[in-house]
Amino acid sequence: MTVTRFAPSPTGRLHVGNIRTALHNWMYAQSTGGRFLLRIDDTDAERSEEHYVEAIRADLQWLGLIPDAEMRQSQRFALYESRFAELVASGRVYPAYESAQELDLKRKIQLGRGLPPVYDRAALALGDDDRARLEADGVQPHWRFRLDHGATIRWDDAVRGPQSFEPATMSDPVIRRADGSWLYMLPSVIDDIDMGVTQVVRGEDHVSNTALQIQMFEALGAALPRFAHAALLTGNEGKLSKRLGSLGVDHFRGEGIEPQAVRALLARIGTSDPVEPVVDMAPLITGFDFSRFGRAPARFDEAELAQLNARILHQTPFDAVADRLPHGMGEAEWEAVRPNLSTVAEAADWWRVIEGPIDAPEPAEDDRAYLAQAAQAADRLDWSHDPWHALTAALKDMTGRKGKALFLPLRLALTGRAQGPDMAALLPLIGRERTIARLSAGLTA
């Protein structure tokens, strides 16, 4: 069975890049009949905050990305200790005693000589006496994973294709700090093994991490999962944007964006498929395929999201939004105003237009007699069937008006606006009494 995981750190709110990663993991699991897991990477006790854990859950809930199970790294330290001990015993993890300042100096010297800033493995030359002396002086080691320089690291990435890294060109990664706390690399591998993760889906900024982690999987005697690294998102200006780090569920909700729009856009940008106003995720899930993702950065455009949101609302049924509409607004009103909405919140404006009172502009002098005739015609109408077309047909015969001169004064008097929903749908909702009153309202001024 396919198993994917989304593994955010609770050190802040999810942003649009995180959301896209979560969506890809969820969609791939759905498309293969697999499981989608949430892993809270909260090993950093100083920076992890519980309210961010709750926010992550709430954001995924709003997006409809419901995990099949949840794990927390802070509850798995015993497992990490056990697997860490195995790696120490096998010589794949070793203690190193350099301070941050010493390591920084080494890097500067290497760069000054035109060399890559790769850790020189000086700690491996220390003997037992050297280590004992350092620890007697109060120097506590950090711990590094020893890379095997004997073979090129290779994998076939589901998005990027064949990948290869030479381990000798990479520093042995630090996996544990001197205070005993864990860095990301090793616990993530241990969890992926223990949770049975079969597909690691994340951004291309993790490609070099994957190369290192592949050797960790192998050192722990585990089968490798498959990997897919999607290109990163860029802003509308065509480069990596700091603003993308501030765009999350709170922002989208504040702008009136529907979760369906966020999903529909993030599911397709960066692929060879067109972005479409899809309400039901089933077609997107069925067609989900990493081979359709390109290597070029994917452009996230808020204006495109807003347009997509409007197109999705235009096909959204009443039942899906009923609990967010003004009290008293029913299905007929929703369907009448829906084609003119960009957000659900805008429905309240049109409900006020229907219910009144409205603030209509003063009619032009040559429209006063026309509106008086319209009020009289409205009073004589059969309101049981299509009163708008009956009214305009009668007025056309009575006055000879047509086009804008026929329709615009009526719309302004009835809604206070020059544009809006189809009046054939709106007028029956305004009703006979309000229609006559509004057509007559400006005639005595």
pLDDT at 245: 76
Are 37 and 197 a contacting pair, CB within 8 Å? yes
pLDDT tens for the chain, 445 residues long, are 999 999 999 999 999 999 999 999 999 999 999 999 999 999 988 899 999 999 999 999 999 999 999 999 999 999 999 999 999 999 999 999 999 999 999 999 999 999 899 999 999 999 999 999 999 999 999 999 999 999 899 999 999 999 999 999 999 999 999 999 999 999 999 999 999 999 999 999 999 999 999 999 999 999 999 999 999 998 876 655 667 877 899 999 999 999 999 999 999 999 989 999 998 899 999 989 999 999 998 899 999 999 999 999 999 999 999 999 999 999 999 999 999 999 999 999 999 999 999 999 999 999 999 999 999 999 999 999 999 999 999 999 999 999 999 999 999 999 999 999 999 999 999 999 999 999 998 665 4
Q: Tokens in use for 101?
A: 């300042």
Between CA 255 and CA 87 the distance in angstroms is 50
pLDDT at 212: 98
DSSP-H helix ranges across 32-115: 50-63, 77-89, 100-112
Are 15 and 235 a contacting pair, CB within 8 Å? no
From 347, 342, 310, select the one nearest 331 (Cα to Cα).
347
Q: Tokens in use for 411?
A: 């719309």
The Cα-based distances of 275 to 32, 311, 341 in angstroms read 22, 11, 20
From 427, 417, 367, 373, select the one nearest 395 (Cα to Cα).
373
pLDDT at 445: 46
From 409, 378, 412, select the one nearest 393 (Cα to Cα).
378
Between CA 431 and CA 207 the distance in angstroms is 63
- Locate the DSSP E strands across 182-317: 199-203, 226-230, 233-234, 298-299
- Backbone phi, psi, residue 129, to 5°: -65, -40
Q: Classify residue 112 by burial, with Cβ atoms within 10 Å: 0-12, 13-18, 19+.
A: exposed
Q: Write down all domains in the chain, each with its CATH number in brackets.
A: 89-176 (3.90.800.10), 356-441 (1.10.10.350)
Are 233 and 16 a contacting pair, CB within 8 Å? yes
Give the 3-state DSSP-derived string for 319-380, with helices as H, strands as E and coil as C.
HHHHHHCCCCCCHHHHHHHHHHCCCHHHHHHHHHHHHCCCCCCCCCHHHHHHHHHHHHHHHH
